[in-house]
Structure 1
Amino acid sequence: MAFRRDERAVTVQIGAVLLLAIVFAALALYQLNAVPAENERVEFTHNQAVHDELQELRNAIRNVGTDGGTRSTAVTLGTRYPSRTVAVNPPAPMGRLETTGTATVSIEAQFAGNESAYEGNPHNLTGNHSTTTLAYTPAYGEYDSAPTTRIEHGFAFNEFGDARVSLTDQPLLSDGTIRLVVLEGEFSRSGNGAVTIDPTALSGPSDPVPIEDEGDENVTITVPTAAPTAWNDTLGTTFGDGESDARVTAYDATDEERGSLTIELAAGEYELQVARVGIDDGGERSSEYDVRERDSGERGGSGGAYDVSWADHENARPCDGGERCDYRVYSEETATFVAEASVESATFDFAYRTDDPTVSAFDESDRAVDFEAEGSGYVDLFVSSGGSSETLVVFVEHDEIPPSIERFDAVSENHNRHARISVDWEASAGDAGITRGELELIDDTGTVVDTWERSYAEEERVAEDGIELEEKGGSGTEYEIRLTVDDSNGNSRNETITRTG
């Protein structure tokens, strides 16, 4: 008997195979075409956003160079692609923000004013100044034509191969004033997350001082740049183009990536203001550009019916010689400054002027003012009376706030004619964790008769302890109990109370 072959299931299998082939082909086309296109849009959107962030960084550097103090701003170096269920993303794109190495800005001019009218040396503002610039370079996977963004002397622009597109105006020259902010420090970060940059004034900003040409030639400024055509476009190459009374006259390519651009100013007198700004802990504070125009009402304390001056202070530390300030105080801590006059029954008026910190308390009494500020930078305190006045320059420090003692108490106990004192205390950290606590029991002769000490390896944000201090035979003696709390920045806070044993 012959059997007939049955092939009815074959068509179902072939249909399933064809369907799978279509699905895989569609996925492959999506992976090859749609995913790169979508990722390119993500990269382009990030690039537009990072341009805004770099302009904020440029503004922070410029504002610090104009007003002093410190600013903080963040730059998102890279981005992340959206998660996908059936497709695969390449590694997340990254970017790099870095300084471009030290170069020299030169101002060929001479001081044209009266030296006695200024505090500081105005001749420091002309001549040669070391500086650096910033460059952001993205490493995208799809957006191949993304530019390198540069910040040079306050001028931000995009560099597309041979083309340059300005993001901001150049602030170096404007309305007859040269505003030079030299940048100091070495900075290099790469990744796809955000980095925070804290531009900080290291010297200056100076008050504007008059300058003029040195004789036969006009005032010239030489600046390092990687993009001379960007400066050509914004300044112009004749006195009638771009910025009035300025023109680009030469470019000397010192290497493949950077050269020196020479800018000539028309004949006449100009004003010059210079500041040095540090990034990434770059450089030390100096008084090189701390040039201030003298005010007949400042720092003499006389000229009126009688003399007035600042006489005393509490919770403030004298500045070192050569610094711009007279005293340093910590941010968000109250300091007291006391005035005096050369006559009896004088009445005082107090006022202040701030570069950057926010003054949160300014409480006046008959002869003193309680002062508190938040942030970092300089505050001028003024006292006047009888037509005379004096100024005190206070630098508010935010970087190193010491620990604060929240609770400190002691109870005396007479134990078999011995002095026994139970101490209870609590302290909270400032900018750094608490590393050590110490208690000292000091008798009426100034001798330390008992001590207690404890180290905190974990750098506690809050530290507290209960301890007993004792001196045998000390019943009835008056003691000082001194508490000292240290943090990992090396700052200390101490407080003393008195008890009878």
Structure 2
Amino acid sequence: MRRGDDRAVTVQIGAVLLLAILFSALALYQINVVPEQNAEVEFNHNHEVHNEMQELRNGILNTGTGAESHSSSVTLGTQYPTRTVAVNPPNPQGTLETTGEDNIEIDASVTGDYVVDDGDNDEVPIDVESEIFDDGITTTGLVYEPDYNEYRNAPTTRIEHGFAFNDFGGNSVDLTSQPVVDGTDLTIIQVDGDLSETSSSAVSMDVRLKSGPTDPITIVPDNDDEEIKIPTQTPDAWNNNIDESNVTIDEDSDAEGTVSIELEADEEYELRIACVVVGDGTGDGCGDFDITEETSDSQMEGDASRLSGPEVTALTINPDTITKGEEESVEVNAMFNNTEFTQTGNTEGERGGVPIIDTNWTITEENGEVVDEGVLQLEEPDYQPEDLVDLKLIQNGTDNINVGDLESGDYELEVKSMDARGVWTSEDESKTAPLTIEESDENGEEQNAPTINQFDVTDETEQRGNSPNFDVEYQVEWTVSDPDGNLDQVDIRLYDQDGITVDSEVISEPNSDSETGITSLEDDCSTNEGTCSGYQIEIEATDSTGLRAISSITDDANGEGSFDVSDGNTGQVSYVTSYNDGSGSGDSYYDETIPPGSSARGMVSDFEDMTQPEREDPWNEFAILETESIPNTQNHDMEIGMRTEGVSTTADEYLIQMEYSFYEPDDSDDGDIDIVVVNEDGSELQRESADADISRPDTEQLAFELNSAAREEVQDTGELNVVYEREPGNYQQVLIYYQRTIN
């Protein structure tokens, strides 16, 4: 009897087993590897938030000691790495909010007489005990609560009364020191405001000084029962951080949700109080802390009884004249003096005699408009009396200030400083220095972009016999020139159907008038359609100032085409230079002034990858524009601004080109992205649409000419402002490989 043939059954069983192994491996990867990697992302983000909360705390403390304002951002959530086969949960979010109103109670005996500004520049007496202490001081704190998917033991980060720490439920870890008690110096910073933000992106937080800080208020307790009670969610964090050399912590603090700081009888303390506003606060809840100590001269008009703030004794700018395009920054050095004695020995010109703690510089135009401002870094000079340096009564201030974005013209730079009383340098004791920005050449003439004089492209592609394989080859004869004689580099590139750079040549010739050459560009292609479609041949010339010219030709590689420069998209090219996603990012490309301004929503990653077209990997080398969740809904939307600077103002036509894809395809109309050309105020001038029906590694190219309104805006400003908009819908990532303007 003949036995049947079982070989086909064996093959089927092997295939089934192979598929089972593959799916098992994918399942194990999803179950084990993905959560571990995501947990690492969340852990690293949590450490980043700790640093940002420390910065926010420092802003509250510095503003409360006299700085006018402070701005910082907190990145509430993060995003997981993109995955090819595995699936991520939704990107984690976090919440930053105020903790509600609580009362600071002060029971202490004040010595000395004090006056307060009545709002009309007159000083009236104030009873600090009855008018400030007896009413209590209503304040709030800030808390950050993450909502991670994997890092489930992440701490809650709190800021209470200028003290930042991580709260792990039963334990706490300090992020900063507490400022309330420092020996016999006491500091109370009232915080007024209402905030509640939940997001996966960054939120900006402004801290503004509303009142104070007071002059030191002298307290000498009559007995050991006098105390200061501050509310807290975590008494242990405070108990472990207050030095009890000059105060005592009440052991019953834990049960009351407060920290009771008992003052010692007959000890002399100095108390300062200020109020700062955060979030949507109006400052209506702030006390009146513009309090100074009354002196024998307190009846003088205005605030003459207060000793002057620090004097600016020296200021230099080096260089004081720069040329646009050649230099970007100037070095500023200043010296400040706040000593409490004078050369003459009389009171005229005396200062506060307290440490210098802050500085301010401003750059103004000839009409007085402030165009830039910042702070100098304080340093101790090494050529002054040691005791004055140690007390920080004489300080140097220095910084390298970037002025490359200023227009040509004459400016004035002014510096001031502030001491620990919150008193700034007076107008007549600040110093100014002139600053001149010159055009990039002696005649002030506009620099010219290079010119593509010759771009002859011949298709020499050959098929390998009767096979589906082709040897793609293009011969390129080219000539480029530069009227300013500063041609720097020539790039000749070949892109395949997916926009990948498959061959290229770079010629670097610094400061030449013109260059010419012949370049061969090659690729291998396999197709059954008889032609390899969609190749793009491109030449780009760049001068030493960054101006660029481009010409590009698209062809189906079949050995028949012949083209010249008139067949391509040719002209000066400008790539996108900056963005605004509303995150407050410290990225050098970030610019919050780009439309839509403060209304910007979304998140931009790897922006630099969209500022040039060349790439070698379809899975990477693109910018990611991510939608942002809409609070209290399941929807996400986007409104991200992009700006292209340095666009020629003399062109008759402007062609906008971009290459894009999506992380996930979306066939619905809601999934599409609108590219909206706007003016400087954000008003719409033109709208185009990018269909969301593709995903990487496939890409689409969108090209459109500016209409008359958009064209006139670019001609007036030399800038192109574009907003990427997406209507509310599912979460989406838009991948932008490049965006450029050809004219």
TM-score range (shorter-chain normalised) is 0.5 to 0.7
> Which residue number in structure 2 is paired with residue 288 of structure 1?
288
Identity of aligned residues (%): 42
Change (3 A) 1:432 1:139: closer
Aligned-partner residue type, residue 208 of structure 1: P
1:261 to 259, 279, 285: 259
Q: Could you tell me whether the CA contact under 8 Å between 1:354 and 1:380 is conserved in 2? A: no
Structure 1: which 5+ residue stretches go unaligned? Answer: 236-241, 303-348, 364-369, 385-390, 392-428, 434-457, 464-501
Q: Could you tell me whether the CA contact under 8 Å between 1:69 and 1:355 is conserved in 2? A: no
SS in 2 for 1:279: strand
Change (3 A) 1:190 1:167: same
Change (3 A) 1:103 1:117: closer
Q: Could you tell me whether the CA contact under 8 Å between 2:192 and 2:283 is conserved in 1? A: no
- Write the mapping of 1:90-101 to structure 2, written as runs, cut at 5 A: 90-101=89-100
SS in 1 for 2:179: coil
Matched, 1:103 2:148: no
Aligned-partner residue type, residue 257 of structure 2: G
> Which residue number in structure 1 is paired with residue 224 of structure 2?
217
> Which residue number in structure 2 is paired with residue 200 of structure 1?
208
> Which residue number in structure 1 is paired with residue 45 of structure 2?
46
Q: What is the rounded CA distance, in whole Å, between the counterparts of 2:39 and 2:116 in structure 1?
A: 59
> Which residue number in structure 1 is paired with residue 245 of structure 2?
244
Q: Could you tell me whether the CA contact under 8 Å between 1:234 and 1:243 is conserved in 2? A: no
Q: CA deviation at 1:269?
A: 1.3
Cα-to-partner distance string for 1:31-69 (whole Å, 9 max, x where unaligned): 111111111111111111111111111100111001231
Aligned-partner residue type, residue 155 of structure 2: P
Q: CA deviation at 1:140?
A: 0.8
SS in 2 for 1:18: helix
Q: What is the rounded CA distance, in whole Å, between the counterparts of 1:43 and 1:371 in structure 2?
A: 44
Q: CA deviation at 1:126?
A: 3.3
Aligned-partner residue type, residue 102 of structure 1: E
Q: Could you tell me whether the CA contact under 8 Å between 2:63 and 2:70 is conserved in 1? A: yes
SS in 1 for 2:248: strand
> Which residue number in structure 1 is paired with residue 32 of structure 2?
33
Q: What is the rounded CA distance, in whole Å, between the counterparts of 1:98 and 1:25 in structure 2?
A: 44
Q: CA deviation at 1:189?
A: 0.7
SS in 2 for 1:87: coil
Structure 2: which 5+ residue stretches go unaligned? Answer: 118-122, 303-348, 375-421, 431-594, 600-677, 684-743
- Write the mapping of 1:151-190 to structure 2, written as runs, cut at 5 A: 151-190=159-198
> Which residue number in structure 2 is paired with residue 424 of structure 1?
none
> Which residue number in structure 2 is paired with residue 461 of structure 1?
681
Matched, 1:231 2:251: no
Q: CA deviation at 1:281?
A: 2.8
Cα-to-partner distance string for 1:131-156 (whole Å, 9 max, x where unaligned): 01111111111111111111111111
Q: What is the rounded CA distance, in whole Å, between the counterparts of 1:202 and 1:459 in structure 2?
A: 36
Q: Could you tell me whether the CA contact under 8 Å between 2:59 and 2:207 is conserved in 1? A: yes
Q: Could you tell me whether the CA contact under 8 Å between 1:72 and 1:198 is conserved in 2? A: yes
Change (3 A) 1:44 1:371: closer
Matched, 1:126 2:120: no
Q: What is the rounded CA distance, in whole Å, between the counterparts of 1:34 and 1:289 in structure 2?
A: 56
SS in 2 for 1:71: strand
SS in 1 for 2:70: coil
SS in 1 for 2:426: strand
Task: Between 113-122 and 130-139, report the one with greater CA deviation.
Answer: 113-122
Cα-to-partner distance string for 1:228-255 (whole Å, 9 max, x where unaligned): 11111112xxxxxx3421221044678x
| C-alpha RMSD over aligned residues | 3.9
Aligned-partner residue type, residue 79 of structure 2: R
Q: Could you tell me whether the CA contact under 8 Å between 1:97 and 1:190 is conserved in 2? A: yes
Aligned-partner residue type, residue 249 of structure 2: V
Q: What is the rounded CA distance, in whole Å, between the counterparts of 2:426 and 2:94 in structure 1?
A: 45
Change (3 A) 1:297 1:355: farther
- Write the mapping of 1:133-144 to structure 2, written as runs, cut at 5 A: 133-144=141-152
Change (3 A) 1:298 1:356: farther
Q: What is the rounded CA distance, in whole Å, between the counterparts of 1:211 and 1:92 in structure 2?
A: 52
- Write the mapping of 1:398-413 to structure 2, written as runs, cut at 5 A: none
> Which residue number in structure 2 is paired with residue 73 of structure 1?
72
Structure 1-normalised TM-score?
A: 0.58
Q: Could you tell me whether the CA contact under 8 Å between 1:250 and 1:263 is conserved in 2? A: no
Q: CA deviation at 1:114?
A: 2.8
Change (3 A) 1:361 1:378: farther
Q: What is the rounded CA distance, in whole Å, between the counterparts of 1:299 and 1:7 in structure 2?
A: 113
Change (3 A) 1:459 1:361: closer
Q: What is the rounded CA distance, in whole Å, between the counterparts of 1:204 and 1:55 in structure 2?
A: 23
2:426 to 355, 360, 381: 381
Q: Could you tell me whether the CA contact under 8 Å between 1:76 and 1:195 is conserved in 2? A: yes
Q: What is the rounded CA distance, in whole Å, between the counterparts of 1:358 and 1:296 in structure 2?
A: 35
Q: Could you tell me whether the CA contact under 8 Å between 1:77 and 1:94 is conserved in 2? A: yes
Q: Could you tell me whether the CA contact under 8 Å between 2:227 and 2:262 is conserved in 1? A: yes
- Write the mapping of 1:422-437 to structure 2, written as runs, cut at 5 A: none
Aligned-partner residue type, residue 240 of structure 2: D
Q: CA deviation at 1:106?
A: 1.1
Structure 2-normalised TM-score?
A: 0.40
SS in 2 for 1:197: strand
Q: CA deviation at 1:432?
A: 11
Q: Could you tell me whether the CA contact under 8 Å between 2:189 and 2:274 is conserved in 1? A: yes
Task: Between 157-166 and 287-296, report the one with greater CA deviation.
Answer: 287-296
Cα-to-partner distance string for 1:375-395 (whole Å, 9 max, x where unaligned): 6998553559xxxxxx9xxxx
Q: CA deviation at 1:9?
A: 1.9
Cα-to-partner distance string for 1:419-447 (whole Å, 9 max, x where unaligned): xxxxxxxxxx9x999xxxxxxxxxxxxxx
Cα-to-partner distance string for 1:8-32 (whole Å, 9 max, x where unaligned): 2221221111111101001101111
Q: CA deviation at 1:360?
A: 3.6
Q: CA deviation at 1:462?
A: 10
Change (3 A) 1:299 1:379: farther
Q: What is the rounded CA distance, in whole Å, between the counterparts of 1:81 and 1:160 in structure 2?
A: 24
Aligned-partner residue type, residue 461 of structure 1: D
Q: What is the rounded CA distance, in whole Å, between the counterparts of 1:73 and 1:266 in structure 2?
A: 38
Matched, 1:13 2:12: yes
Q: What is the rounded CA distance, in whole Å, between the counterparts of 2:371 and 2:299 in structure 1?
A: 22
Q: What is the rounded CA distance, in whole Å, between the counterparts of 1:65 and 1:125 in structure 2?
A: 17
SS in 1 for 2:82: coil
> Which residue number in structure 2 is paired with residue 358 of structure 1?
361
Q: What is the rounded CA distance, in whole Å, between the counterparts of 2:235 and 2:295 in structure 1?
A: 41
Aligned-partner residue type, residue 226 of structure 1: Q
Aligned-partner residue type, residue 133 of structure 1: G
Q: CA deviation at 1:218?
A: 4.5
Change (3 A) 1:288 1:262: same
Cα-to-partner distance string for 1:305-355 (whole Å, 9 max, x where unaligned): xxxxxxxxxxxxxxxxxxxxxxxxxxxxxxxxxxxxxxxxxxxx9x9x997
Q: Could you tell me whether the CA contact under 8 Å between 1:276 and 1:289 is conserved in 2? A: yes
> Which residue number in structure 1 is paired with residue 452 of structure 2?
none
> Which residue number in structure 2 is paired with residue 466 of structure 1?
none
> Which residue number in structure 2 is paired with residue 477 of structure 1?
none
SS in 2 for 1:199: strand
Q: Could you tell me whether the CA contact under 8 Å between 2:156 and 2:168 is conserved in 1? A: yes
By relative contact order (CA 8 Å, sep 6+), the higher-ranking structure is 1
Q: CA deviation at 1:216?
A: 3.3
Q: What is the rounded CA distance, in whole Å, between the counterparts of 1:108 and 1:152 in structure 2?
A: 20
Q: What is the rounded CA distance, in whole Å, between the counterparts of 1:85 and 1:244 in structure 2?
A: 60
Q: What is the rounded CA distance, in whole Å, between the counterparts of 1:295 and 1:362 in structure 2?
A: 41
Q: What is the rounded CA distance, in whole Å, between the counterparts of 1:248 and 1:111 in structure 2?
A: 21
